[in-house]
Structure 1
Amino acid sequence: MAITEINFDGIIGPSHNYAGLSPGNIASANNAGAISAPRAAALQGLEKMRTNLRAGLAQGFFMPLDRPNAAWLAGLSADMASAEPHIRAAAFSASAMWAANAATVSPAPDTADGRCHLSAANLLTMAHRSHEWTGTHAQLQLAFANEAHFAVHPPVPAPYGDEGAANHMRLCAAHGEAGIEVFVYGKSGGPFPARQHIEASKAVARAHLLDPAKTLFIQQAEAAIAGGAFHNDVVAVANEDVLFCHELAFEYPSEAYADIRRLMPSVQIVEVPASRVTLADAVQSYLFNAQLVTMPNGQGMALILPTESQENEAVWSWLSEMVAGNGPIRHLVPVDVRQSMANGGGPACLRLRVVCDPAYVDPRFIADEAKLDAMAAVIGEYWPEHIAPDQLSDPALIQQVQSARAALLKCCGLDGAL
């Protein structure tokens, strides 16, 4: 088989809840304390994967991590009964569902040793995400165990924060060809932390054996971070030779565009003007937290975007005009991921893009319709229908969450492996 792009979606875990743990994430903060619907959330995620499969796109998935994280709690000399509420919520978080933060990925055509490199993200800025990396790293090592084709790296050490592919873009003529890699870092975000440090981005680029002459480090706009774009993928997304971004995405846009064009003269930059779509509308609708994908059979590119974008008049008006023109993005595909959106993650947050030959990936992590049907049956039977924040210490809920994950692992042939 040939090198292709595979979108690996995080299965939304049975502990999905709205604890409001992420400062700078407006949706997460606004919905803190609300009652979540883990079963509906996970089924929505599966339907998004079906949309991709039926469009002819390659699709993979990652398993939810074990929650609550007893080992992390033990390191704090606590358990779910004794921990303070914010510690309990952090241990119970299902945030690993947002697989765009799982790792940074550099495909084989870009690396000096001709292997696809994946570096697990440390996510150290937020307590509830800082303990994900051990489970994520183990899963990456299993899914991409073929060392002739993959190199899986541990995370960058503290104190340098790395949030994975959500702050990384790749531009190329085609997925299987060598390209340029763009690392977007933050310096300041006003009242909110800048989560991606340039030191971490540079460390990942070195680990991945990237050519410095084809690697860029670009600063995210401080106004964007302050406005709720806690990751670059809330204001920009790239696919092959197209960069789709908001006018206020980068701190120095003219310089950023010039650097990108210098390394890739054929790039097509589609910039959405702030006069048409405000930064607030971009963040509310997650217009840019869409999957920008190349459709098979010469159908052009499509944006797989949340239904919230369709419901925002300014956003949908601009998008409709764009696809009616002669630009590179030809299709709009709204998907319902409202449960994820309410916690601050759109379609792009839910997936990690890996460009590789699917034949070398552990097949247990590759999706097809039958496997999605089987997973849907498990989720329908085992996932909690609702979770309220005051339930997190309930032993019965904890047992249900752990049993649900175990059932899904068994369904996918991964019991005992993770």
Structure 2
Amino acid sequence: MSAYEVNFDGLVGPTHNYGGLSYGNVASQSNSQAVSSPKDAAKQGLAKMKALMEMGFRQGVLAPQERPDVAALRRLGFSGTDAQVVEKAAKTARPLLAACSSASSMWTANACTVSPSADTADGRVHFTAANLNCKFHRSIEHPTTSRILAAMFANDKHFAHHPALPAVAQFGDEGAANHTRFCKDYGAAGVEFFVFGRSAFDARFPEPQRYPARQTLEASQAVARLHGLDEAGVVYAQQNPAVIDQGVFHNDVIAVGNGEVLFHHEDAFLDSERVLAELQDKLGRRGGRFVAVKVPRAAVTVEDAVRSYLFNSQLLNRAEGGMLLIVPEECRNNERVWAYLSQLTASGGPIREVKVFDLKQSMQNGGGPACLRLRVALDETELAAVNSQVILTPALYDSLTQWVDRHYRDRLTENDLADPQLLVECRGALDELTQILKLGAVYPFQID
């Protein structure tokens, strides 16, 4: 039976803004308080989805979250009508309102970790929502994320859903941004690669000194257990603490993999030789031929990688052979990065083609092409069991573009978050979206 990798991209929400909320994310902090365009952001994301669909890749859509999150503000002591809650927060705790208004769920690489049925003990596709507890504005996402995923992948015969891990520092889990799967074929048993920043209980592992390490070894191990993964098909690696301190807050800012190929920076991991040898050995035992494409620091510095988001790219298997790398415009604008990519595609290696996309609205908040998508490997039967309304088609693309035009603002500033009308607009947009995508009641305002 044929199997496919389906990319589910996050729709950018109506409250997309530059709050500078993510300490350790250089782009997020450096663009704090800039004027955003929610409409442009959503359309840039949709344009990428449409382009990949037209290239023959299977493409899905993941809905944004309700923002401002009034329920979260109520839990923090604000009371009254919904409008009064927003107004009080804006007057007395503006940073909390900004956090509860973040559109960060657009980066669906952080939504959850996914293990395909070929890897799991019970032969189902497993999803574990990420707790994202390192940042308050992201830690409030997982309840709605779980409901949306359950509405998209609703067949218990094929799909298993796990709640987020305990929301404590020892089990910090950032989802698929720190998880990669290697395989000879999407329907064959593969090797799941978990990258962590620190260990909660083992002092032998070094930690970064400037920025927090968001993913723990213990969280990665817990997800592997929940998904019923065989130890023979799992590899754990520690992210280099020195690169975390340079702004590499997730592994997908310094490495990306797909199929049998890992594209990574020379400084991505601690004990790289051991890690690569283990990947090669375990994938080899499952019939694959592991290929590591190492980018030397002499060609691209970590600083250049962070500024350009070279590794926060999508690595896709082309039908005609070889691999396609989807990169943001910032890569072309960086002379050293673009020179390296030109040499890479001419070298005869596995990466044969590079395509550039304008994702400036997302990039300014610290998220590139890879941040915007969640990869799910599905066989034909499983794909048929997915809610068909979330699979992108030309008609759905047109509907979503028109939906954005009806509901999204052209510009948004931090002061606009204090406008209670923004909440009304957001809820109206999401209520209509759940009908377009046939999700049912997934948002708090639809349930309460």
Range into which the TM-score falls when normalised by the shorter chain:
over 0.9
Distance, in Å, in 1 between the alignment partners of 2:148 and 2:403 is 20
Q: Following the alignment from structure 1 to structure 2, what is the Cα–Cα distance between the partners of residues 183 and 255?
A: 14
Question: In 2, distance between residues paired with 1:189 and 1:338?
Answer: 29
- How far does the alpha carbon of each residue in 1:143-176 deviate from its partner, in whole angstroms, 9 at most, with x for none? 1111111111111113210000000011111111
1:364 Cα deviation after fit: 1.8
Q: C-alpha distance in 2, partners of 1:255/1:337? A: 36
Are residues 1:343 and 2:365 paired? yes
Say if 2:387 is the partner of 1:392: no
The counterpart of 1:240, out of the listed 259, 264, 267, is: 259
Corresponding position of 2:109: 100
CA contact (8 A) 1:104 1:120 kept: yes
- Distance between the aligned counterparts of 1:400 and 1:19, measured in 2? 20
**Residue pair 1:14, 1:405 contacting (<8 A) in 2 also:** no
Residues 1:209 and 2:228 are matched in the alignment: yes
* Letter paired with 1:245: H
Check the 8 A contact 2:41/2:359 in 1, yes or no.
Answer: yes
Counterpart mapping for 1:322-401 below 5 A: 322-357=344-379, 358-401=383-426
Task: After TM superposition, give the deviation of residue 24 of structure 1 in Å.
Answer: 0.4
- Counterpart of 1:309 in structure 2 is 331
Aligned counterparts of 2:267 and 2:47: Cα–Cα separation in 1: 32
Judge conservation of contact 2:60–2:390 (CA < 8 Å) in 1.
yes
Q: Does 1:135 align with 2:144?
A: yes
**Structure 1, gaps ≥5 residues long:** none
Identity of aligned residues (%): 47
Report the counterpart of residue 38 of structure 2 in structure 1: 38
Aligned to 2:121: 112
Aligned-residue Cα RMSD (Å) equals: 1.2
Cα deviation for residue 413 of structure 1 reads: 3.3
> Which of the residues 119, 126, 137 maps onto 2:135?
126
8 Å contact from structure 1 (residues 105, 117) kept in 2: yes
Offset at residue 177 of structure 1 (A)? 1.0
Q: Answer yes or no: is the 8 Å Cα contact 2:147–2:442 preserved in 1.
A: no
Once the two structures are superposed, what CA deviation does each residue of 1:289-348 show, in whole Å capped at 9, x if it has no partner? 00101122x232100111111111101111111111110111101111110000000000
Deviation at 1:114, TM superposition (A): 0.8
Q: What stretches of structure 2 of length at least 5 have no aligned partner?
A: 79-84, 199-206, 444-448
Secondary structure, in 3 states, of the residue corresponding to 1:322? Answer: helix
CA–CA distance in structure 2, aligned partners of residues 223 and 42 of structure 1: 34
Q: Note if 1:151 corresponds to 2:157.
A: no
Structure 1 stretch displaced more, 37-46 or 1-10: 1-10
CA distance in 1, matches of 2:137, 2:167: 16
Cα contact 2:118–2:189 (8 A) shared by 1: yes
Q: 2:182·2:260 contact (CA, 8 Å) conserved in 1? A: yes
Q: Return the letter of the residue paired with 2:10.
A: G
Contact 2:113 2:127 in 1 (8 A): yes
Contact kept? 1:18, 1:343, Cα under 8 Å: yes
Judge which range, 400-409 or 177-186, deviates more: 400-409
2:196 counterpart residue number:
185
DSSP-derived class of the 1:309 partner: helix
Alignment match, 1:175: 186
2:300 counterpart of 1:294:
no
Pair 1:404 & 2:429 matched: yes
Q: Which residue of 1 aligns with 2:296?
A: 273
Q: SS of the residue aligned with 1:110?
A: coil
Question: Counterpart in 2 of 1:64?
Answer: 64
CA deviations over 1:207-236 (Å, ceiling 9, x no partner): 000001221110001011111110000000
Equivalent residues in 2 for 1:1-20, closer than 5 Å: 2-20=2-20
Distance 1:36 1:402 in 2: 20
Structure 1 residues 219, 417: closer, same or farther in 2, change over 3 A?
closer
Tell me which amino acid in the other structure corresponds to 1:369: P
Contact 1:379/1:408, CA 8 A, preserved across alignment: no
Q: Is the 8 A contact 1:289 1:305 kept in 2?
A: yes
Q: Separation in 2 of the partners of 1:185 and 1:142?
A: 29
CA contact (8 A) 1:99 1:351 kept: yes
TM-score, scaled relative to structure 1: 0.98
Q: Is the 8 Å Cα contact of residues 170 and 180 (structure 1) preserved in structure 2? A: yes
SS of structure 2 residue aligned to 1:122: coil
Does structure 2 conserve the Cα–Cα contact (< 8 Å) formed by 1:171 and 1:238? yes
What CA distance in whole angstroms lies between the structure 1 residues aligned with 2:53 and 2:43? 15
- Residue type of the partner of 1:19? G
